[in-house]
Every structure is written in structure tokens, then in C-alpha cells.
Chains A and B, each alone.
Chain A
Amino acid sequence: MTAAAPSRILIVDDEEIIRIGCQRILEDANLIVDQAENGRAGWEMIQQTPYDMVLLDLMMPEMGGLEVLDEVQKYDDKIIPIIITGFATIETAVDAMRKGAYDYLPKPFSPDELRTKVNRGLEKRWLMLQTEQLREERDRNLLELTNEKSRTLTLINCMREGFVATNRSGQIVLMNPAAQHMLRLNREKAIGSAVAGLFGNPELEQKIAATLETVARTTTVTHMEFKASDARVLQANISPIVVDQGETLGTVTILIDVTEDKKVEQMKSDFVSLVSHELKSPVAAIAGYLNLIIDGLTGGNPEKERDIIVRSRDKADSLLALINDLLDMARAERRGAAKVRAPLDIVPLLGESVQFYQNDARSKSVSLTLTAAETLPQILGNSDDLSRLFANLISNAIKYTLANGKVEVSARMHEDQVEISVSDTGIGMSGQDLEKIFGEFYRAKNALARKITGTGLGLAICRRIVQDHHGHIAVESQLDVGSTFRVTLPVYKNK
């Protein structure tokens, strides 16, 4: 029983013969036994040494057995007290037992009686200690369990995705704040409520119900998309909660806000149909022109035919320009590591572009000049992209400027940024055009502009390049007076 440490017993009795007798009998049973000759001495020893059991005589000088019993009970209720009494009356025994004694020994007692009662008491104590230990273990486990539960709950509550769990009757048992927000529900009220009619979305409710009903496999996931009340698009992935035996205990629904994805998807498909339209127009025009010749509507007039062929060629050229612009735009879209960036001087790049367009300007009798500050700090950029930016702005300016007009290109510091401006004395734009001019395929509506070819992508490409360089592009314009495009780019700071 007490394999590890032998039990320790204190005998408190004023009769020496009893003390010695008991000690001998109990020591033979491999117990450690101490003696005290009165209540007070015994009580002091109890407070100094951990005893498993005390044998207490009821009638003692100084401090009586019942008094000691009282103190022991308060001190440590796992010490087993056994009362020894010379007055073996039912009353004293009952009194002692009521006060918490485990058992009593009426004097005189036989060694067997002593051994039996002590052994039983010690066994009781061992069981008490075992119970105590088990209870502690259980409490510790429960604490861990509670911690684990709250940890899982914390994780679920921190998810950006909505999380809704139902039991097998379709009542909500768990819902995280994200789901509450997405479904515009009060979590406290929703928990415990049936799903049916709660979400304001019959399809979702029906799918959750169907998931509960179908023969469950853990791999079954139902996907659906729906519009929430605030026009956000949510994706719901519903799966059954299945235990080992294939029994469905409920459902878990994960909600993902896909509104932004949908917007991007929409923008992409809008752009594709816009591009298709822009590509179709010149091809349709070429087909139209060729049909004129094929159907003999030119009356065999070679001059007329040549005019039509030249127009077709021009359309083919503009189609080519458009495709090149689309490729440029795709290139400008590509960000990050694929782009080589280096500190560079703006003025030489501007100079090259101005030089390149001198012939165009001259053939339209437009003056093209560059004014640059003596020294300008370097900027961090991609020289191909920046050349393209300057070329687009300068060629645009020339294109929309009438004969004898001026295009002025300048570079200078403005506050702490490098500012490049391209001003023309061209046909200008109205206020409503200004807002949209950097958008794809937008071209200013102007009787004069109609005669000018363009893809409608040039400025959209400019905007992308500038944004990619963390800069800013803006335009000021006045109808019939001219336009000024201003690009500001941040200065390159070495370290």
C-alpha cells in the first residue's frame, strides 16, 4: 500500500503503557511512530511534522483529545484522526465522530483491533490523496481544454473570412465577427437561431439545409456566390461537419468577400470588349474600302481607287499603332523585378525626344523648343519607359497644334521634385475632356480633333508610366488656346 514512503503516525496519550504498546505494534507493521504525552505537546508536533494519522486519547491534561481533534481538522483535514477512549460510551464516540474523527478505539484494545483500524484509516487517507491527485489532474486538463478552446475561438474570431457553423438542426452555433459584418447580423441574436429566414438569402439557407441532408463526405463542398444587402459580392463555401462514422453533425460555411475580385474581373472584360471594338473599327473600314473596289463602285477611276487604297493603308497603319500601344501598355503594367531601374538624368532623355520630333514639328511649321535648368538632380527610373512618356507627350502636343504654333518642353525643379512640362498652343480641350483624358480610348471631342488620328491610349500609357515612377501627371487646358501637361517625378536619393 505505502510502497514509496512508510506512513507516519503520532500517538497522543498520557498513559505511557498505551504509547509504548501501540508504538511497538505499529512499528512492527513498518510504520514510523512518534509519541506525545499530552494534547498540547501532540498539537505542537503535528504542526512541525507531517503526519498521516494521529491516535488521540480523549481524556488528557493540558489539552483534551477533542480540542486537539478540532485543531487538527482545521489544520489539515487529510490527517486521519482516530480516537482512543477509556470511557467507551456511545455518547463520547458519537461526539468524536461528529467532530470529524475517522474511527475510535475503546480501551482496552487488542493489537489486531489497533492494526485493523490503523490500516483502514491509512487506506482511507491513501484514497483521499489519490482522489485529490486525480481531481488536480482533471482540473489541470480542464484548464488546458479551456485554453485550447479559447485559442481556437480567438483564431476563428480573427479570421477575415466569415465563419458560420450550424448544428444538425440548422441552428447557428458559432459565428465570427467577420460573418456578422458580412451578413449584417447581430451575433448574439443569431447564435441559437435557425438559419432558415435569417440570412435574407433563400439560396444560401437552402444550400446549408441541403448540406445537412445529403449523405456526407468530408470532401463535399458547395460553392455559391451571392450579393449581400450592401451590394458586396460574397462567396460561400459550405461543407458538412462529418465525424468518423459518416454522421453529419452540422455545417461550416466560410464567407469570402470577392467584391474587389469581381470589380477587377469586370474591368478586365470591359477592357477586352473595348479593345475588340477599337480593333474592329479599322479592320471594318479596310473591308469597307476594299468592297468599294471589288464591287466596282469606283467606276474604274484609277485616281479614286488609289485614294481608297491609300486610306486602307492608313487604317492598317493606325491598327498597327494601336497594337503597338496595347503592347506598350501591357509593358507599362508589368511592375517590380522585371523592370530595370537606374538613377538617370532627365535632360538628355528629353533632348533625344525633342530632337526626334523636330522633323515632325518642322513639317507642320510648329516650333519645338527645350528649356532645361542648368543642373537637375537624378531620378530613379526606367529609361525606355521615360522615353516613351516624353515621346507620347511631345508627339501629342505637335499633333494637336496648328501651323505656326509652338510646343515648349521644359524641365526644372518644383518644390522637391523634378517637373517636366510640355506646353502647346494647340486646339485645347474642354473641362469635361480634362477629367477623362488619361483614361483608355478616350479622345477629346472636338471638331478639329476628329481629323487627327490617335489610338486613345497614348495618355493612358503616360499615366501608367508616371504612376509606376511614383510621380504625378496633370493637365491644364483651354479650348482654342492650348494645353500644358505637367509630370512631376521624385528625386533619386542615394541612401
Chain B
Amino acid sequence: MDEQKRILLVDDDPDFIDINRMILEAADYAVDEAHSVPEALEKLSNATYDVLILDLMMEDRDSGFALAYAVRSDERLRTIPILMLTSAEEKTGFMFQLSQDQEWMKVDDFAAKPLKPADLIARIEKLLGRNADQ
């Protein structure tokens, strides 16, 4: 196996950070965490990550969107694959779908919380594989 891939987990719910961290670490990823948008931006400017896992609704309704947008607007960061996690269908009554929303969501994958460990790993591997092809 080549060098360890680095993943940044951004979520304001400490349980999900912990759970996903354990899943990812068990799959041999290096995991870093951020609990807010400013903290995530700070980490992104100081280190390089291979995948970003974002919670859609931190603090305010759309902070996940805002962060995804900031990443996509940054020359250095724009190619980092983003997996957006959300329990949005609970809160808004809408189920987001990648095909329809990808254009303005500017993320690479989209999944409802909570994700089963195998599902999370499969999605991360897919994102990394696609990134490697480009």
C-alpha cells in the first residue's frame, strides 16, 4: 500500500466525528477533525487532505454548503473530493439527490447520516480512485 491517505472530518457532532474516525482509522486512513467551518478552513490551509467529509448542517442550516463552496473556489483546494453527509431530509423534508443537486452543491458524493462502516469506506475508496484517475 502506498502512503496513508489523509481525511478531514468536519462535523459539529462529536459522536459522528468519533464514530467515523474509528471506521476510517480501522481502514488505515489518517484522520483529522474540525468542529466548525472556521476550524476546518484553518486546518485546510495548514495541511493537505485527500478527502473532505462534511456535515451539511453545522451551526447554521447551510454551513456545509458554505464550506464546500469555499473549498471549490480555492485554487489550491478545488480538486479535493468532498463527501457531504446530511440528515437534511429530516429537517427540511427534502431528500437531496446527487444527480439533481451536484451542479450547485459542488460536492462529489452525498449520503444520509448515519452511514454504515462498509458504505462509508466504499464511498471514500471510490472518491480516491476517481481522484487518482484524473
Residue ranges of A at the interface with B (Cβ–Cβ < 8 Å): 273-274, 276-277, 280-281, 284-285, 287-289, 291-292, 295, 297-299, 311, 315, 445, 447, 450-451
Whether A281 contacts B13 by the Cβ 8 Å rule is yes
Contact digits for B18-45, partner A, Cβ 8 Å, 1 yes 0 no = 1100110010000000010000000000
Give the residue of A277, A311, A450 whose beta carbon is less than 8 angstroms from that of B35.
A450
Contact partners of A274 in chain B: CB under 8 A: 91
Contact partners of B114 in chain A: CB under 8 A: 284-285, 287-288, 291
B5 within 8 Å of A by Cβ? no
Contact partners of B69 in chain A: CB under 8 A: none
Interface of B is mostly: helix
B49 within 8 Å of A by Cβ? no
Whether A311 contacts B91 by the Cβ 8 Å rule is no
Q: How many A-B residue pairs have CB under 8 A?
A: 56
Give the residue of A276, A281, A299, A450 whose beta carbon is less than 8 angstroms from that of B26.
A299
Whether A450 contacts B22 by the Cβ 8 Å rule is no
Residue ranges of B at the interface with A (Cβ–Cβ < 8 Å): 12-16, 18-19, 22-23, 26, 35, 59, 87, 90-93, 113-114, 116-118
A445–B59 CA distance with the chains assembled, in angstroms: 8
A291–B114 CA distance with the chains assembled, in angstroms: 10
Contact partners of A291 in chain B: CB under 8 A: 19, 114, 116-117
Give the residue of A277, A287, A298 whose beta carbon is less than 8 angstroms from that of B90.
A277
A51–B93 CA distance with the chains assembled, in angstroms: 94
Contact partners of A445 in chain B: CB under 8 A: 59
Whether B117 contacts A297 by the Cβ 8 Å rule is yes
Whether A295 contacts B118 by the Cβ 8 Å rule is yes
Whether B23 contacts A292 by the Cβ 8 Å rule is yes
A106–B90 CA distance with the chains assembled, in angstroms: 112
Whether A315 contacts B15 by the Cβ 8 Å rule is yes
Contact partners of B118 in chain A: CB under 8 A: 295
A450–B14 CA distance with the chains assembled, in angstroms: 8
In the complex, what residue of chain A is closest to B93 when comparing beta carbons?
A273
Contact partners of B15 in chain A: CB under 8 A: 281, 285, 288-289, 311, 315
